[in-house]
Amino acid sequence: MVKINEVAEAAGVSISTVSYALSGKRPVSRSTRERIERAVDELGYSPNAGARMLAGSRTQIFALTEPLRTDTHAPTHMSFVLATAIAARRNDYDILLLTDEQARDGMSRVAASGLVDAILVLDVAPDDDRVPLARAIETPTIFIGVPDDSEGLVCVDLDFEAAARLAVDTLADVGHTRVGLIGQTDIAYVKSNFPPRVRAAAEKRAAERGVHCDFRSSGAVMPDLVAVVRTALQMLDDGATALLLHTTAEAHAAVLEALAERGLSVPGDVSVIAVGASFDTAALPTPVDTIPLIPQDSCDLAVALAVRSLEDERPAPDLYLVAPTYVSHGTVTSPV
């Protein structure tokens, strides 16, 4: 196998100069670059990412920027990482996972190096600082999530607003006039893009349908299962006849177990819908109707758009939203 020192010797330059030419980290004169190109071609230097960049072809690597923070709900986030990796591999791409908490730094680093063909952005914040960088770099960038300022970006996501409206309509159509919405943690409404969208759309649709919607979060930084149960029972005591749950699998299970302990049946006494659940609600103590967030759907679409961005016709900047679907397990009926 040809090594980088052999390329350097053939081109009459130092190893560091070859490295700079391959990585683009420092400028190299045109004549020197041409000598290195000839040496790479003649020797058949290993087609690593740098050599492919030099030859003007693809690296077959996508970067996936997914900042891991102390408040990260690992099961949900890892389901998206896995779905993205599977979709990429199906298209003959590998994934370079960037987990810097300061997500912009890692994204900037790979964009400057030319190591990847495209960048996929997860855990999108409303005011995400990766947005201006995505507009500034040449590397195609696909957001899996929708920041507040999405102008000029390619964004993929479940249509959370439509999902929230569908949930409210389903309850209103069978006669519910008072529902409780238990959402994500407080910090999620600051750092994540979709929880505020679900809450705002649900409350707006409820007002349009003449339904009282009582919202409570599921904790401050992490879900507080004791508080979630207390909140759910209080909502029912205050007259709610249905619950919309937009929280973790553990919180769903805790609520369902508490209802059973109180002797309340689902849906006989309480109708329940899970909104945007990325887990299998059929595996809960009581299988629950759901409007699911399916990581594979969003990630397949994001990878497809990333691949398209490398072809002659790049996808236009826009919101590419996945239409919600309703999966029934029989947990909605008319109020008593």
Predicted confidence (pLDDT) per residue in 199-255, tens digit: 999 999 999 999 999 999 999 999 999 999 999 999 999 999 999 999 999 999 999
The answer as to whether 331 is a domain residue is no
Indicate the burial class of 97 (C-beta count within 10 angstroms; 0-12, 13-18, 19 or more): middle
pLDDT band at 14 (very low <50, low <70, confident <90, very high): confident
pLDDT band at 292 (very low <50, low <70, confident <90, very high): very high
Structure tokens at 199: 């809450």
> Are 68 and 118 contained in the same domain?
yes
For the cut 50, the answer to whether the pLDDT of residue 96 exceeds it is yes
Q: Name 44's Cβ contacts closer than 8 Å, sequence gap at least 6.
A: 2
Split into its structural domains, the chain has a count of 3
In tens, the pLDDT along 161-212 reads 999 999 999 999 999 999 999 999 999 998 888 999 999 999 999 999 999 9
| Residue 196, domain extent | 160-291
> Are 285 and 164 contained in the same domain?
yes
> Are 135 and 148 contained in the same domain?
yes
> What pLDDT is stored for residue 165 in this prediction?
98
> Are 114 and 92 contained in the same domain?
yes
Phi and psi at residue 43, in whole multiples of 5°? Answer: -85, -15
In tens, the pLDDT along 293-319 reads 999 999 999 999 999 998 867 899 999
Lowest mean pLDDT across 17-21, 116-120, 216-220, 329-333 = 17-21
Q: What percent of the chain has pLDDT over 90?
A: 68
> What pLDDT is stored for residue 57 in this prediction?
65
> Are 138 and 243 contained in the same domain?
no
The residue-averaged pLDDT of 45-62 equals 63
What angle separates helix 160-173 from helix 194-208, to the nearest 10 degrees? 30
In tens, the pLDDT along 254-281 reads 999 999 999 999 999 999 999 999 999 9
In whole angstroms, how far apart are CA 92 and each of 68, 85, 128, 311?
A: 26, 10, 29, 15
What's the mean pLDDT when you consider all of the chain? 90
201: left (phi over 0), alpha (psi -120 to 50) or beta: alpha
For the cut 60, the answer to whether the pLDDT of residue 34 exceeds it is yes
> Are 285 and 189 contained in the same domain?
yes
Q: Name 205's Cβ contacts closer than 8 Å, sequence gap at least 6.
A: 164, 165, 168, 169
> What pLDDT is stored for residue 249 in this prediction?
94
Domain of 153, CATH number, reads 3.40.50.2300
The answer as to whether 336 is a domain residue is no
> Are 135 and 232 contained in the same domain?
no
pLDDT band at 71 (very low <50, low <70, confident <90, very high): low
